[in-house]
Amino acid sequence: MKATLKLENIGQKEGKDILTFNSGKLTLIKGRGAIGKSRIIKSYALVLSFPILSRALMDEAIKFGIMKDAKTEFSPLVNSNNESAVIELNYDDISKRVDLSIDGEITIDNPGNEEFLYSSVVMRTSRIQENISRGYSDFSWIVNELSLAKDYETVLVIVNSYIVQIEKKKLEIEEIKTEKMEITRKIENLNVSRDELIKEIELLEQEISKIKLNPELKEKRLEIKKNIKAFQADLDENEKDKKKLEKAIKDIEGNINKNADRIEKNRLQIISLTKEKEDLKEITVEKIQNEIIEIKDIIAQYREELGAHNNNPILKLKDLEIKDEITCPFCHTGKLIPEKVQNEKEEIEEKINEVKTKIKKENGEINNKKKRINEKDKIPGIIKEIQGLEDESFQLMKSSDNFKNKIDGNSKKIKACIKAIYSDKDQLKKLNDNLAVIVESIKKDEEVQPLFDEKSEIDKNLGSVERQIKDSEEKMESSNIIKLFNVDVKIEKSSKVISTLNDVFTELKDHLESQIGEQKGGAANKFNENIKNLIKELKFTEFKQVSIDLENYDLKVIRNDNTIQSINSLSGSERGIIASLLQICAKETYLPEIPFLVGDDILMDIDPVRREVFFDYLKKLAQKNDWFIILTQVTDEDLTITEL
Amino acid sequence: MSNKKEFVNGLIEKIESDIKEGLDEQVFINDIREKVEEYITELIK
């Protein structure tokens, strides 16, 4: 199988490059430093992994220099003298094209797999290499990132947040229930007290009635009491009606206010749309085209300025190592002072960036102007929108008028209620006055006087108890509903609901934990099995086994004498071997279906004998799997591409 | 729907299918909240 990689304006090289690679081979890209080897590896990394969505992998891509970070203004892969670049890869029947702009925007026509970065791109800065060289033994991240465990863990966090909320709600329900029980007990006790007081009053009244009173007064008192009861009931009814009507008026007023707000909003929108319409009427194609021509003139001036900067001979010194004062390579007479040259170079580069930013801004302005021409077509739509808003406002005003009529009707009813209330109160006052006169007359009897005093005291206590009962019942009513995840639930049903939800989320948690364990364990087992075979194949005698511990996912190295060593206790060369083993193993374990393994400037820390062993193994691996294995190697020569 | 087992199985099915298709965390959070609210409404009917 052949792979064709087309590069345009990638890295330091301007223009197009077409490179061909064969599968089943180990390809070495050799050459001096800064000759353009890495840009080939980076191009493969980007075209086969983009789009990159995971935060951790995005950091990896920034470290590799294939994507820009938020602080950087320009793409690290696009040639600095150009606005855009292209990478095209064709292999088998697969075709991919990535378009890059200087400001970092990337688009791809056929998406890759972001995990390619962890499993199939080997750089000195890649996470496996860095972790091993720093002596970190925790490899849970690799079984996490290269399996579905990371997604299950994300869901587990969400499920756990529900479990925490359920626990809080359980406590809240318990507190409300305890409070309700206390209130119920209180009401029961108050009812007992009330019954006792009523009984005491009845007894007192019986006693009072036994005493011989003027029968006329007695009868009159009973009649007045009966009338008082009737007027009191009427008064209560009227007050209730009045409250209902007042609430209805308040609700209607709320609706009128809502309508008024909406009408005002429409009015402001109509003003704004009318202005927009007038502005659009003013647009003429000719005027805008003239403005575009003016901007294009400005851009032409900037481009001239950019050309002048780019042609500055100082920039051509960038590949020379200016360590000592040297003779000027252009005039061959004057001396160059390194520090001065460096400063001047930086100033020119800064000016180039400034001019590019200005060109970009002006191009943006042209696009805006072009869009403006087409905006004239919006006028009929705006007129329609204005008409719609006016119609809506008219309907709202009509609806507000109806509301006002309703308020007038209700106000009249309230007036009638108030009149009835005054009349009831007046009657009650008169009746109470009459009753007081009669009671006073009865009280004159010395025998009855203390009984009346006692009864009056008990009446007072009864009133207080009844008020307390009413307050407690209102409190009870208000604590009857609880909000469970935005749904109003009656308190008596809430325990069952929350207990069911608890069962649901506990079951989900168990499922997720088991899936995470399975995913991680599966990924680690697969990895361990592959690395065991790899050590055997490479005939490494110093290590018996390198494996990921299934308990804590730490990487352990077992020597031939069965001693277990952690990564940080290995020598630098041993770490280099382990890192390379792991990287090859990660590729074989996690992403064998993408037939590319690329590496930039690796295997250099390993001694030449071991390196040859690795090269031989990689050759066989490429042949066995029909993969493209492409590595860079630093030499003192020009760029060459060799297949082994 | 008010059957607990049915609801749990439905959520597990959703988790498995969302993960398989590439999990979008925010969409998943909203979907789960909506499903839980619907389930509570069913339970209290």
**pLDDT, tens digit (0-9, with 9 covering 90-100), for A172-213:** 999 999 999 999 999 999 999 999 999 999 998 888 877 766
CA distance A11 to chain B (A): 32
CB A556 within 8 A of CB A137: yes
Using CA atoms in the order A175, A181, A183, A186, what is the torsion angle rounded to 10 degrees?
-140
CB A324 within 8 A of CB A338: yes
Better pLDDT: A245 or A144: A245
- A/B interface, count of CB pairs below 8 Å: 56
pLDDT string in tens for chain B (45-residue length): 458 999 999 999 999 999 988 888 889 999 999 999 999 999 988
Rounded mean pLDDT, A279-285? 84
Sign of CA dihedral A44, A48, A49, A51: positive
The packing angle between helices A572-590 and A491-538, to 10°, is 120
Q: Is the CB of B11 less than 8 angstroms away from the CB of A485?
A: no
The residue whose two tokens read 């040639």 is A79
Rounded mean pLDDT, A16-31? 93
Chain B contact probe: residue of A487, A491, A503 with most B CBs at under 10 A: A487
- pLDDT band with cut points at 50, 70 and 90 for residue A171: very high
CB A87 within 8 A of CB A6: yes
Rounded mean pLDDT, A539-549? 82
Chain B contact probe: residue of A57, A157, A504, A513 with most B CBs at under 10 A: A504
Q: Is the CB of A485 less than 8 angstroms away from the CB of B7?
A: no
Question: According to the model, what pLDDT value does residue A562 have?
Answer: 84
ipTM more than 0.90?
yes
| CA A338 from centroid of its chain's CA atoms | 50
Better pLDDT: B18 or A541: B18
**For residue A475, what are its two tokens?**
């409190």
Instruction: Find the CB nearest A508 among B8, B19, B37.
Output: B8
**Is the pLDDT confidence value at A506 over 90?**
yes
**Is the pLDDT confidence value at A605 over 70?**
no
C-alpha to C-alpha distance for A341 and A121, rounded to whole angstroms: 37
B contact set with A (CB within 8 A): 4, 7-8, 11-12, 15, 19, 23, 25, 28-29, 32-33, 36-37, 39-41, 43-44
Question: According to the model, what pLDDT value does residue B1 have?
Answer: 44
Decide: residue A206, CB within 10 A, 0-12 exposed, 13-18 middle, 19+ buried. Answer: exposed
CA distance B37 to chain A (A): 6
CA distance B40 to chain A (A): 7
Q: Is the CB of B44 less than 8 angstroms away from the CB of A512?
A: no
CB B32 within 8 A of CB B13: no
**For residue A628, what are its two tokens?**
């493209």
B chain contacts of residue A489, beta-carbon cutoff 8 Å: 40, 44
* Residue spans per domain, chain B: 4-43
A chain contacts of residue B40, beta-carbon cutoff 8 Å: 484-485, 487, 489, 497, 501
Backbone angles phi, psi at A51, to 5 degrees: -80, 145
Domains and CATH numbers, chain A: 2-111+604-643 (3.40.50.300)
Question: According to the model, what pLDDT value does residue A20 have?
Answer: 95
The DSSP result for B1-45, as a single string, is: ---HHHHHHHHHHHHHHHHHH---HHHHHHHHHHHHHHHHHHHT-
pLDDT in tens, A570-593: 877 778 778 887 888 888 877 888
- Name the most confidently modeled range: A323-332, A456-465, A587-596, A601-610: A456-465
Radius of gyration of chain B (CA): 11
How many other CB atoms sit within 10 Å of the CB of residue A311?
9
Using CA atoms in the order A227, A233, A238, A243, what is the torsion angle rounded to 10 degrees?
150
Indicate the average pLDDT of chain A. 88
**For residue A523, what are its two tokens?**
């990924």
**Is the pLDDT confidence value at A358 over 60?**
yes
| CA A58 from centroid of its chain's CA atoms | 17
Using CA atoms in the order A11, A13, A15, A20, what is the torsion angle rounded to 10 degrees?
-80
Of A426, A420, A432, A471, the C-alpha closest to A239 is: A420
A chain contacts of residue B32, beta-carbon cutoff 8 Å: 158, 162
A chain contacts of residue B41, beta-carbon cutoff 8 Å: 487
pLDDT in tens, A405-456: 999 999 999 999 999 999 999 999 999 998 888 887 777 666 777 888 888 8
pLDDT in tens, A296-321: 999 999 989 988 888 887 776 655 54
A chain contacts of residue B25, beta-carbon cutoff 8 Å: 154, 158
C-alpha to C-alpha distance for A597 and A117, rounded to whole angstroms: 10
Rounded mean pLDDT, A527-541? 80
Beta bridge partners of A106: A100
How many other CB atoms sit within 10 Å of the CB of residue A570?
18
Rounded mean pLDDT, A243-248? 92
Of A513, A509, A500, A507, the C-alpha closest to A169 is: A500
Residue of A nearest to B41 (CA): A487
Q: Is the CB of B19 less than 8 angstroms away from the CB of A152?
A: yes
Q: Is the CB of A501 less than 8 angstroms away from the CB of B23?
A: no
**For residue A41, what are its two tokens?**
């590896």
Residue of A nearest to B7 (CA): A504
Task: Calculate the alpha carbon distances from A591 to A46, A48, A143, A555 in Å.
Answer: 16, 12, 13, 20
B chain contacts of residue A155, beta-carbon cutoff 8 Å: 15, 19, 23, 28
Question: According to the model, what pLDDT value does residue A317 have?
Answer: 66
Q: Which amino acid is at A634?
A: V
Question: According to the model, what pLDDT value does residue A523 have?
Answer: 85
Q: Are strands A16-22 and A2-8 parallel, antiparallel or unpaired?
A: antiparallel
CA distance B21 to chain A (A): 11
